[in-house]
Chains A and B, each alone.
Chain A
């Protein structure tokens, strides 16, 4: 394998590239990214960068080793979007050309021996009616646009969607002293992710901090002159707002793979070892894989998965090319993520969605400091903690080995 192309120049793509070099791959390694930036870290975009305490230079992704990014010897095609994949011909089709020489034609097709797909996801949007001031938040440029709008001291910010991005944006805006209305179409925020009890607590934490939380009501339309001035809700009420941030989920960036022959179904579907097709792996928010631990295909949108899957996918790409024994190891991690809101840190290890039961095993929801475990059938499938990081570490091994609920309860009473 002499040439590898990584499509997607964010965290998963960079960690894959880093692992390829670490494993001894010394052929060409081309990074294609549709953003005009070198890889940067997204979690601070809804926190420190939006708050104004960090600038963009603080979030540049670095790599281990003395020579940093330069030491990886990467060819960068930034501001270039992949528009198609020719599997049989082993080429990527590109729109735009990042090397600034004005050429077209041959530059639009990029051949590869090995391919890493790490194109991430894009925020879902609501119809804006052409009004300015309605934002989504995924990229650095999105964040800087929202931050500029917040710097103008709006009368009120409306955040649409009380998922983790919306929640963090609401918390950051409150931290800036702004009035915030947080809208959630579901009766309980995050019910699918963390269950109704703790989802309800999430809304209460925002109310603790003076956010106007409205549950079970969606947006009907936006209204204003050139810029948004108010939000009309489906229950007939209106909220005056100068800035709107929409956080209603993301969709994996797989449109460019239509017709390629890869299996695309809520993400690029891989085997149990990150392989999507011979010589093609996927990693990060765009990837979907079979989990023996949790059952069925899963796709997660977590920071840590971008790293772990990027590393695993890189290793798989090399072993697939070498076609040597032993058989590849499967990628079946315990997903982990964190969310920081106000002075609360929420961490989740495992998959809590669709659980049959949640049990608080330490502290209490009322204290806003607790750990809770989740059961599906007779096994522990997740642990969630708010400001109790140590306990996530305590219970994760049980989730990892699919321990029985009885064992988890025993630990809860003795631990």
Chain B
């Protein structure tokens, strides 16, 4: 079953914990903005994405099941 990474950019403050945990999916660039590199990551990245959800200080990330 696929899933989608959802970021609430009103909450995101570019703490970049997500990038640390799952750099394949999340990148905070030199402009200080978060870019979601893949909105539908492969299943083998799911654990990392779930950890990024837990580690976000603003609870700005969620996972939507397809």
Q: Which residues of A contact B59 (CB under 8 A)?
A: 62
Pick from A43, A345, A347, A393 the residue with the most CB of B within 10 Å.
A393
The residues of A that contact B50 with a CB separation of less than 8 Å are: 64
Q: Is B40 an interface residue (CB 8 A)?
A: no
A338-B15, A340-B13 known; A390-B30 Cβ under 8 A: yes
Known A387-B32, A393-B28: A307·B20 in contact at CB below 8 Å: no
Q: What chain B residues lie within 8 Å of A347 (beta carbons)?
A: 15-16
Tell me, in angstroms, the Cα distance from A389 to B16 when the chains sit together: 6
User: Is A64 a contact partner of B28 (Cβ separation < 8 A)?
Assistant: no
Q: Please determine whether B54 and A307 come into contact, CB atoms closer than 8 angstroms.
A: yes
Secondary structure class of chain B's binding surface, majority of residues: loop
Contact A390 B54, beta carbon cutoff 8 Å:
no
When chains A and B are docked, how far (Å) is the Cα of A387 from the Cα of B55? 19
Nearest Cβ distance between residue B60 and chain A, in whole angstroms? 13
**B20 engages A64 (CB within 8 Å):** no
B17 and A304 contact, CB distance less than 8 A: yes
Q: Are B57 and A389 in contact (CB under 8 A)?
A: no
Beta-carbon contacts under 8 Å, A165-185 to B: none
A340 to B30, CA, bound (A): 19
Given that A64-B53, A389-B28, A389-B32 are contacting pairs, would A345 and B17 also be in contact in the complex, using a CB cutoff of 8 Å? Answer: no
What residues of chain B have their CB less than 8 Å away from a CB belonging to chain A?
Answer: 13-17, 19-20, 23, 28-30, 32, 50, 53-55, 57, 59
Interface residues of A (CB under 8 A from B): 15, 43, 62, 64, 303-304, 307, 336, 338, 340, 345, 347, 387-390, 392-393, 396
User: 3 closest Cβ contacts across the A-B interface?
Assistant: A389-B16, A389-B14, A390-B28
